[in-house]
A and B are shown apart, each in its own frame.
Chain A
């Protein structure tokens, strides 16, 4: 039998919620552990093993020099490198600081700034080549499993590229936008979450970043028509993926 692929899970600037999703795969966790060798997974095991690894999952945005070094080493150690979750894919929540001057934002959190030397928060593909992107805050478990199966088979997994609206309609949710008069990021956000938030009557926050043909300019105009304040619109597009060209365009409209 072929050896199990060796897996490494790296944490950068993040809440650890995405790597926790591996453990939350409980119903199939034993199958996952049966198929993969988690050689480096600090959250879940003692005695972590050195590389090389077959697949490296990187969680978190890159926000300081040490992380750049760690990331470059990870790239060298892993045959396949995967961005795990929105922070690694787009900068995610940490990237909201990118529009505030560095020293100002550091001063909001730390009293002694002498040892702080952070950079703007960037996605990992700003520094290294990335083989796959698993979006979401946190990453979606079904997509994670689909990806693992694809990797084991050596095929491209089916990850939905289109908008959240597609899944929302497939679930026959009452549209928050057209029926309830709320504003929703669903029309420009990548599906794959099963329209989780709208299915629970909460508007999409855009955590999965831009869909493949996101028309954010038009959506920003719809937000304006709904009476949303300019600053609220900017916050919506910058919350998770403000650095992407698509969501930047939404900001430019206002």
Chain B
């Protein structure tokens, strides 16, 4: 992966006894909206918490990625009125903390940062991102669909966090990843930790690394995919795929959206809003007068896989998949693109 390591990663270490976590979260809640993983049925979702007890830090993954906080599924951009024009009166955003994010999701946010803040800055994303701190949590819950290790994004987090927690049994190791994180750590008055604790952390991460079953071989991926554009596997997938769009709806790096105007009944005022869109949907590549550039389902499946694994790289200097496995677990037909790649490799 071509991302530079953030310089402050090892600048400061601290220890947080687990018994102090509640107090810490409550102190954070005084100043920030704290968004963290909470249970929903047998799954988990990121949600603003009401008390520290809401947090389920032993979660594996969530239905939707934390992307939903920065780039919302539905979002009103502005309202407009026949005589008053465009009104962008937006509430000042409260500062928020994304708490307990795993490495895959933090890496995905860094990809979104490139898509939304560099060449074409998106003000709606930008303002939320500026007001957001990330407290990461090194993952030790390797799920059956996880393959972050293959993508080089996890399980250990290397960058993108303000603070990073690692579960060491009865305490967390706290690492500082940014100046905001440093300020936060100072305000929280954490106990300094000896550097030897990093060895303990690596030991824990090594245990996690041994738990992965799912793999995606990334070497020579571009050539492999370029050479197999007409491989029969795509047609097989076309027959299987339900074109329901779930895989892209749960993806942490998908950034497409659709914009719709919602008028009031008087037809004099209304709202412009956006919502997540998906290249897996038939109407996505349809243009005026009805022509559709990706009418066939296999063309859309290929677009999704090639976009993630090939086309992201020239634009964002990284593969577009972080290996979170959500698209696999969300698929009713259990379509798994790590298996597709294995088939292309003749494995």
| A interface residues, Cβ below 8 angstroms from B | 28, 31-32, 34-35, 145, 148-149, 152-153, 158, 161-163, 165-166, 169-175, 177-180, 186-188, 211-215, 217-219, 222
Contact = CB atoms under 8 A, between A and B. Distances in A.
Nearest to A188: B242
A77 B207 CA distance: 75
Contacts of B241: 215, 218
B283 A172 contact: no
19 contacts: A148-B265, A149-B265, A162-B243, A162-B283, A165-B242, A166-B278, A169-B64, A169-B249, A169-B250, A170-B74, A173-B63, A174-B43, A178-B329, A180-B42, A187-B244, A211-B243, A212-B283, A215-B241, A222-B332
A186 B266 CA distance: 34
Contacts of A175: 63, 246, 330, 332
Given A31-B266, A161-B283, A174-B43, A215 B332 contact: no
Contacts of A170: 73-74, 249, 275-276
A165 B260 CA distance: 19
A35 B245 CA distance: 37
Nearest to B63: A172
Contacts of A31: 265-266
Contacts of B244: 162-163, 165-166, 186-188, 211
B68 interface: yes
B297 A174 contact: no
B305 interface: no
B217 interface: no
Interface in B249-286: 249-250, 260, 263, 265-267, 275-276, 278, 281-283
B204 to A, nearest CB: 29
A211 to B, nearest CB: 8
Interface of B: 40-43, 45, 63-64, 68, 73-74, 239-246, 249-250, 260, 263, 265-267, 275-276, 278, 281-283, 297, 329-333
Contacts of B249: 165-166, 169-170
Contacts of B297: 213, 215
Contacts of B64: 169, 172
A215 B260 CA distance: 27
A153 B267 contact: yes
B246 A161 contact: no
Q: What 6 A-B pairs are tightest by C-beta distance, nearest first? A: A169-B249, A174-B41, A165-B244, A187-B244, A31-B265, A213-B282
A188 B244 CA distance: 7
Nearest to A30: B265
Given A170-B249, A187-B332, A180 B41 contact: yes
Nearest to B73: A170
Contact of A215 (B41, B45, B73, B243): B243
Nearest to B242: A187
Contacts of A180: 41-42
Given A149-B263, A153-B263, 13 more contacts: A148-B265, A163-B243, A163-B244, A165-B246, A166-B245, A166-B281, A170-B249, A174-B41, A175-B330, A212-B282, A213-B297, A218-B333, A219-B242
A158 B260 contact: yes
Nearest to A36: B265
A50 B341 CA distance: 65
Give the interface centre of A148, A171, A172, A180 by most chain B CB atoms within 10 Å.
A172
A180 B7 CA distance: 44
A172 B47 CA distance: 11
A77 to B, nearest CB: 25
A148 B332 CA distance: 36
Nearest to B331: A178
A229 to B, nearest CB: 19
Given A28-B265, A170-B74, A179 B43 contact: yes
A53 to B, nearest CB: 20
Given A165-B246, A219-B332, A179 B267 contact: no
Contacts of A161: 281-283
Highest count of chain A CB atoms <10 Å: which of B63, B64, B265, B283: B265
